[in-house]
Amino acid sequence: MSQVMLEKSEVYAELPDRALTDYFRNAGDMLAEEATILGAVIRTILAAEEPLTHKAIILRLISEIESTRDVIKGDVLRKTLEIVVDHTMDDI
């Protein structure tokens, strides 16, 4: 899938709903680290040719949290997960 090399703004267009997209677009540089992590997670899911769903994003973030030993990265991953959970509807 050629979607693996998406630019930051194109990554947000791939998200399942607008609430999360709008939140990150409007946050600007305040959530730069979280946006980078979310973009990497989305690209990983698309590279694996898996459906891009909220569940897939959440599970990938949880997996990253469980596997990191870097405390700072863990905090950013947790904040990203909180944002995703707070700004998405359940997948149907």
Q: Residue 1: pLDDT above 60? A: no
Number of folded domains in the chain?
1
Structure token digits, residue 33: 């680290």
Which residue has better confidence, 44 or 15? 44
Which residue has better confidence, 52 or 15? 52
**How far is Cα 54 from Cα 57, in angstroms, rounded to an integer?**
5
- Is residue 68 included in any domain, yes or no? yes
Query: Domain limits at 77?
Result: 2-86
DSSP state letters, 42-85: HHHHHHTT----HHHHHHHHHHHHHH---HHHHHHHHHHHHHHH
CATH code of the domain covering residue 43: 1.20.5.5260
Question: Residue 49 CB: number of other CB atoms within 10 A?
Answer: 9
Which residue has better confidence, 12 or 60? 60
Q: Residue 37: pLDDT above 90? A: yes
- Is residue 12 included in any domain, yes or no? yes
Q: Residue 90: pLDDT above 80? A: no
Please give the pLDDT value at position 58: 95
Q: Residue 17: pLDDT above 80? A: no
Which candidate, 46, 62, 57, 49, places its Cα nearest to that of 5?
A: 46
User: Helices 18-27 & 32-47, crossing angle to 10 degrees?
Assistant: 140
- Is residue 91 included in any domain, yes or no? no
